[in-house]
Structure 1
Amino acid sequence: MGIRVAVAGASGYAGGELLRLLAGHPEFDLTYATAHSQAGQPLYRVHPNLAALDLTLAETDPALLATADLVFLALPHGESAALAAQLPDSVKIVDLGADFRLSDPGQWEQYYGGTHAGTWAYGLPELPGQRQQIANAQRVANTGCYAAAVTLALAPLIASGVAEAEDVVVVAASGTSGAGKSPKTHLLASEIMGDLTPYKVGAHQHVPEIKQATGARSLSMTPVLAPMPRGILATVTAKRSSCDITAGVVREVLADAYAGEPFVQVLPEGSWPHTGATAGSNSAHLQATVDVDSGRIIVVSALDNLGKGAAGQAVQCANVMSGLPETSGLSVFGVFP
């Protein structure tokens, strides 16, 4: 028997993607999938792509989840802490929500509201030193989707001194699955098709997470809702630390930072990331240049918001926590077209 895993919040998009990945994992045995309003439903009625999985969504019962070796929490922000507190310390947890990402209680209160639940190991293995922290942890806070895309693009540049930590600007477009599965008028097909819409301008909740993970001191972020089901394309710009910093230097810093990392590809010069190229994978694609007019560094990052931005990243962290090969059950190859 393999490692017994369970998913709480399995009826949502991230939960469904987790189930898809876990169903094909060579070492994880999916034992339970729980939900709230959809409890009692056969899985195929909620996720028709998973018709081959003979599962019925169960009530989210802590006693049931406690029988697993590892639990994924794919719950709305603010709901993970209460459930995690009811699980024994022996059960490993990967939380896909935001409850335990931030170290500053004031930032949590400002961007999310309510009481800060605490801080767990941050679930981005590609950050320096983070892989070992995840390996030693019983509790891991998965990254936010925008945060994963931006942090991978920016963190090595600030750490190396190539980019300034002040005045970072991000414009990032995300597919509609990032908004969750609850019915909302602004997510109706007739509302989003042929349209791009900014939202949470100047106050997106991933800003403090990105600053915490990258060392950026000031960051302006404009998220955009794009008429596609999944994917993130983030354009990150930052000031150069010196006029001598060329596009080649920036690409070299990124290539060195991710040398040997299976899930981060710095594309050849002249090739730019596509969201479609990362769909269904746990990969992030990066490309960089220096703007000929402003002299600012530009890094474009693409990933699947349900893959490297959520479920895939969570499985990657679970692999590290369980002492398994990091790539187990995950693909570096996207589905295209």
Structure 2
Amino acid sequence: MRMSFSVAVAGASGYAGGEMLRVLLQHPEARIETVSAHSNAGSTLGEHQPHLRGLADRVLAPTTVDTLAGHDVVVLALPHGASGAVAAELAARDPRTVVVDLGADHRLVDASDWRTYYGSEHAGTWPYGLPELLHAGERTAVAQRAALAGATRIAVPGCNVTAVTLGLQPGVAAGVVEPIDLVAVLANGYSGAGKSLKPHLLASEGLGMAQPYAVGGTHRHIPEIAQNLRAAGAPDVTLSFTPTLVPMSRGILATATARLVPGTTPQAVRDAWERAYADEPFVHLLPQGQWPTTAATLGANTALVQVAVDERAGRVVTVTAIDNLVKGTAGGGVQSLNLALGLPETLGLPLNGVAP
């Protein structure tokens, strides 16, 4: 078991990097030694992340391999397509460094999926940082945790991917839902869009309005969700996926539906979700009749799930709430990092949300 570890966070001035720092500040074994940025290098972290008082005076270093090398752990909170080259150089410098990629560069197994949705060459596939991911034939998530134990490279899932996967995978793994004709509609907080200044992300545009984006099968998280459900046992996956920005700063409420396998009872459906998540520390199936809310997961590494059967429509309905920056990004990354370092999986991670 590795105990105290040093950390460098690249992209520390952005939302994902800032949230990783917030979570690591609560981790009893993490020593944050370096924070870096690109265009914001030379300024203090407090100018960009004023809520991180314990690190406010830290000066952001340039994001270079020389800056990041020499740490036990390097977290890459960089734009999609930027992590691959940095990670390759770090591997050449010190292959023992544990690198956690919060971006998309190393999530996908199929290089053609990457080229189709991201338009560049694939950087390779790393161990996937969703410890709760079910594999075909499993009743509970064992194989994914084994894959993360001792890993030196971790690809953290997309936030939408985490929510939809956790909502649907128990039914796929248990064979009680059909993995074709899946439909997922999400309500997303604005922090999921990053800090880039764009007119439709301004408060004057977004307040009081809900707006869909990446409609019609164009969202980059679609192949990743399909990849996860195939891992859970689906021979093929078709998914209609529509995210919607709503006026909240963080959070995802994912409503996903699937065809009920003929002859399956509502109790069999409930049993599948209960078996999958009965012993999970962060994924909680709520009592029947209680529905997830984003407020209940605010600031926590918790996913709240509910499942119901619409018998008239012949469909299973799942609703999953997460904080996109915690369980959907930084918290999920630290959870996977704990497993990689041989530490308790729950160490330093918040379970309880902030409400109202």
TM-score scaled by structure 1?
0.98
Deviation by residue 1:139-183 (Cα, 9 ceiling, x = unmatched)? 110000000000011112101101111111000111000000111
Partner of 2:159: 145
Partner of 1:97: 103
Partner of 1:84: 87
SS at match of 2:89: coil
Aligned-pair CA distance for 1:136: 3.2
Aligned-pair CA distance for 1:77: 0.5
Partner of 1:253: 272
Q: Distance in 1 between matches of 2:271 and 2:219?
A: 30
Partner of 1:56: 59
SS at match of 1:302: strand
Partner of 1:46: 48
* Alignment of 1:227 onto 2:247: yes
2:228 maps to amino acid: A
Q: Distance in 2 between matches of 1:266 and 1:68?
A: 38
Partner of 2:128: 122
Q: Distance in 2 between matches of 1:55 and 1:287?
A: 42
Q: Distance in 1 between matches of 2:127 and 2:104?
A: 12
Aligned-pair CA distance for 1:242: 2.1
Instruction: Tell me which of 297, 304, 322 is aligned to 2:323.
Output: 304
CA contact (8 A) 2:12 2:45 kept: no
Partner of 1:276: 295
Q: How does 1:141-220 map to 2 (within 5 A)?
A: 141-202=155-216, 203-215=218-230, 216=234, 217-220=237-240
Deviation by residue 1:199-246 (Cα, 9 ceiling, x = unmatched)? 101211000000000125111101101111000000010011123321
Deviation by residue 1:89-132 (Cα, 9 ceiling, x = unmatched)? 11111101010111111111111111011111111001231111
Identical aligned residues as a percent: 54
Q: Distance in 2 between matches of 1:25 and 1:41?
A: 25
Partner of 2:342: 323
TM-score scaled by structure 2?
0.92
Q: Distance in 2 between matches of 1:307 and 1:258?
A: 19
1:82 maps to amino acid: A
Instruction: Tell me which of 113, 118, 123 is aligned to 2:119.
Output: 113
Root mean square deviation of aligned Cα: 1.1
Partner of 2:26: 24
- Unaligned stretches of 5+ residues in structure 2: 134-140
CA contact (8 A) 1:251 1:287 kept: no
Q: Distance in 2 between matches of 1:212 and 1:136?
A: 23
CA contact (8 A) 1:262 1:327 kept: yes
1:61 maps to amino acid: T
Q: Distance in 2 between matches of 1:303 and 1:27?
A: 25
Q: Distance in 2 between matches of 1:41 and 1:285?
A: 38
Q: Distance in 2 between matches of 1:201 and 1:96?
A: 24
1:71 maps to amino acid: V
CA contact (8 A) 1:43 1:51 kept: no
Partner of 2:35: 33
